[in-house]
C-alpha cells in the first residue's frame, strides 16, 4: 500500500501504521540510510521474547503480523512507561506508534528522536515506525548560535544521525501529521532555572518592527531560551526603527522582566539595565543655578513658566487628592535628545525635604521640575498619581 507524500512544513503519518510498506517508505523518505535500515529482514520480523522495547525504540517497533490485535496490550504498555510504574524490561511488544504519539502529546513527556534527514522546511525525526517533522523554527537556538556562519540547511545536514530531545506538539492520525518541537523540550528543562530579574548575556536573533528576539546564554555556554525585547524596552531614546539599534548577531545584555509559563514566553528589557537618563543626569538636564550651562535653565516662579501641555489638568486633579496641599513648577530645562514626544510624569527618587516631593515632567526635549507639598509618603503619592492619571483623559 502506498505511503502518504511529505509536504513542506509537515510530514504525514505512514498510511500503514502497523505494517509499513518497505519500498514505499524508502521512496517516501528518499534517504539512503533509512532505505538500508528498512531493507534488513531482521527488522521486519515479529520481535522475539528476548527483544526489549522502550519509547526510544528504532523503526522496527510495529508488529510484522497485521492480523494480531495488540491494541489493549500496547495501550497498557505505553501508559506504564509514561507513568514509570513498570520497567521497560518487562514490556515485550512496543506500543502502536499512533497511540504512543498521542500519549506523548498529552503527557508533555520528552522523547529522544533520531534525525533521519531534512527537507526545505525542517528535520525528519524517527518515532517508532513513523517519521515526524521538526520545523526549523522549532529548533533550539543553540544550533544557530553555535555555528552562526552556517545556513540552516548546513546545520540540518550536520544534525542527521544525531539524537534530539523533542516534544510532540501535534499528532493527528486523520490528517497524518506528527510534528515535533525541540524548543518546547528545551523550555521544560531550562525555564525552571530562571527568575524575573535575572540578567543574561544574549545574542540578537531576528529583528522585527515590534522588537527583537534575543537568545539567552546559560552557564554551559549555550543559548537555550529566547525572549522578546519589545521596541519600548530597547532604549530610553525614542526608537523609530529597532533595526537602527539592533542587528542579528549582536551581543547584548538583557534583563528578564516577565515569564509567561503558560505560553512559554519570556519578556526582556535592555533599557532597564540602564538608569533613566532623566533621573541619572538630572543636574545636567536641569543645571544648578550658576553653573556653566545655566542658560538652559529657567528658575522663575511657577506663574511665569508655562506648564507642558496636559499638566494643568493634572495639577487640578492632584489638588483634589487628600494630603496634597500645593503643586507648582519650580524650574525647567532642555535635554539634548528626545526621549518621548508624549507627556511623561515621574516621581523623583530624591528624598523629600520639608514634606516637599519632586515630580519631573517631560515632553520632547523640555523638562519641568514640579514641587509637591504633601503629607503623604512616597507610596501614597504614587497611588494618588495613579488615580489622577486614570481620571485625566
SS3 89: helix
pLDDT (0 to 100) of residue 126: 94
390 burial via Cβ count (<10 Å: 0-12, 13-18, 19+): exposed
Residue 361: predicted pLDDT: 86
As a whole number of angstroms, the distance between CA 207 and CA 200 comes to 18
pLDDT at 345: 83
The CATH number for 193-273, chosen from 2.30.29.30, 2.40.50.140, 3.30.450.20, 2.60.40.10, is 2.40.50.140
- 277 contacts 271 by C-beta, under 8 angstroms: no
CA–CA separation, 133 and 319 (whole Å): 64
Low-confidence ranges of the chain (pLDDT < 50): 1-94, 280-281, 290-295, 299-301
Question: Could you report the per-residue pLDDT of 172-182, keeping only the tens digit for each?
Answer: 988 889 999 99
327 within 8 A of 341, measured Cβ to Cβ: no
Q: Which of 119, 110, 164 is nearest to 139 (CA)?
A: 164
The pLDDT assigned to 65 comes to 41
Q: Phi, psi at residue 90, to the nearest 5°? A: -85, -5
**Counting Cβ atoms within 10 Å, is residue 241 exposed (0-12), middle (13-18) or buried (19+)?**
exposed
pLDDT of residue 285: 56
Q: Would you say the CATH fold of 193-273 matches that of 97-187?
A: yes
**Pairing state between β 111-118 and 163-172:** antiparallel
Which overall architecture, per CATH, does domain 97-187 show?
A: Beta Barrel (2.40)
Inter-residue contact 311 to 318 (CB < 8 Å): no
Give pLDDT tens digits for 288-299.
Answer: 554 444 445 554
Torsions phi, psi for 271 (to 5 deg): -70, -25
Which pLDDT value is given to residue 321? Answer: 92
- pLDDT score at 86: 40
Q: What is the CA radius of gyration of the chain?
A: 31
Sequence ranges of the domains in the chain: 97-187, 193-273, 311-391
Amino acid at each position: 500500500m502506498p505511503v502518504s507524500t511529505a509536504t513542506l512544513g509537515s510530514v504525514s503519518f505512514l498510511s500503514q501504521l502497523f505494517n509499513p510498506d518497505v519500498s514505499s517508505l524508502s521512496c517516501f523518505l528518499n534517504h539512503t540510510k533509512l532505505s538500508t535500515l528498512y531493507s534488513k529482514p531482521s527488522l521486519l520480523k515479529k520481535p522475539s521474547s528476548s527483544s526489549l522495547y522502550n519509547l526510544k525504540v528504532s523503526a522496527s517497533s510495529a508488529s510484522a503480523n497485521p492480523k494480531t490485535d495488540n491494541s489493549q496490550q500496547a495501550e497498557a504498555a505505553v501508559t506504564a512507561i509514561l507513568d514509570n510504574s513498570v520497567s521497560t524490561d518487562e514490556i515485550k511488544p512496543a506500543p502502536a506508534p499512533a497511540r504512543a504519539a498521542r500519549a506523548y502529546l498529552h503527557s508533555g513527556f520528552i522523547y529522544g528522536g533520531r534525525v533521519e534527514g531534512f527537507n526545505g522546511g525542517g528535520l525528519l525525526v524517527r518515532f517508532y515506525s513513523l517519521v515526524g517533522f521538526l520545523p526549523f523554527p522549532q529548533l533550539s537556538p543553540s544550533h544557530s548560535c553555535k555555528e552562526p556562519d552556517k545556513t540552516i540547511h548546513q546545520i540540518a545536514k550536520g544534525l542527521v544521525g544525531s539524537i534530539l530531545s523533542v516534544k510532540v506538539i501535534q499528532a493527528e492520525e486523520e490528517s497524518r501529521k506528527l510534528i515535533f518541537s525541540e524548543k518546547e523540550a528545551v523550555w521544560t528543562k531550562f525555564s525552571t532555572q530562571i527568575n524575573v530579574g535575572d540578567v543574561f548575556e544574549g545574542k540578537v536573533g531576528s529583528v522585527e518592527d515590534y522588537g527583537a528576539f534575543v537568545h539567552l546564554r546559560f552557564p554551559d555556554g549555550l543559548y537555550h531560551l529566547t525572549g522578546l525585547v519589545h521596541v519600548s524596552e530597547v532604549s530610553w531614546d525614542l526608537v523609530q526603527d529597532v533595526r537602527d539599534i539592533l542587528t542579528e548577531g549582536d551581543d547584548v545584555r538583557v534583563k528578564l522582566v516577565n515569564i509567561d509559563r503558560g505560553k512559554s514566553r519570556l519578556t526582556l528589557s535592555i533599557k532597564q539595565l540602564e538608569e533613566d537618563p532623566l533621573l541619572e543626569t538630572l543636574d545636567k538636564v536641569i543645571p544648578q543655578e550658576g553653573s556653566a550651562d545655566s542658560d538652559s535653565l529657567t528658575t522663575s516662579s511657577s506663574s511665569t513658566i508655562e506648564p507642558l501641555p496636559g499638566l494643568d489638568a493634572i495639577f487640578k486633579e492632584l489638588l483634589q487628592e487628600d494630603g496634597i496641599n500645593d503643586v507648582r513648577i519650580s524650574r525647567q530645562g532642555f535635554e539634548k535628545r528626545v526621549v518621548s514626544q508624549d507627556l511623561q510624569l515621574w516621581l523623583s527618587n530624591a528624598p523629600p525635604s520639608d514634606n516637599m516631593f519632586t515630580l519631573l515632567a517631560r515632553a520632547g526635549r523640555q523638562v519641568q521640575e514640579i514641587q509637591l507639598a504633601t503629607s503623604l509618603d512616597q507610596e501614597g503619592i504614587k497611588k494618588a498619581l495613579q488615580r489622577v492619571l486614570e481620571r485625566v483623559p
